[in-house]
Amino acid sequence: MLDQFKQFMLETNAFSLAIGVVIGGAVAKLVAALVADLLMPILSLILPGGAWREFSIGLGEGHDPIKVGDLLGVTIDFLIIAMVVYIVVAKLFKLQVKK
């Protein structure tokens, strides 16, 4: 049974996928810290008020507000992560083509 599991892990690239997920999680944390600690303080100089991630638009009593600042922050996080993934994949494909 252990041999079958080992064969499954190697043939289906499940081990590579698991490594990719772990590294992806670490990259996401790194990018989130980069955005929160470097990029957003710079943007807060331009945007009114320092706590821009808490900016929301109220809809009245008894309704949840629209959290515009949080949406903006998550969008910026996503765009940076997508850009980093694109650059890494493009470099890997370029290396693969050269071989």
Encode pLDDT of 7-55 as tens digits.
887 778 887 888 888 888 888 888 778 777 887 777 777 766 667 777 8
Reported as a pLDDT band with limits 50, 70 and 90, residue 90 is confident
Domains observed in the chain = 2-98 (1.10.1200.120)
- The answer, yes or no, to whether residue 64 has pLDDT greater than 80, is yes
**Average model confidence (pLDDT) across the chain:** 80
3-state SS of the chain is: CHHHHHHHHHHCCHHHHHHHHHHHHHHHHHHHHHHHHHHHHHHHHHCCCCCHHHCCECCCCCCCCECHHHHHHHHHHHHHHHHHHHHHHHHHHHHHHHC
Is this prediction's pTM over 0.95? no
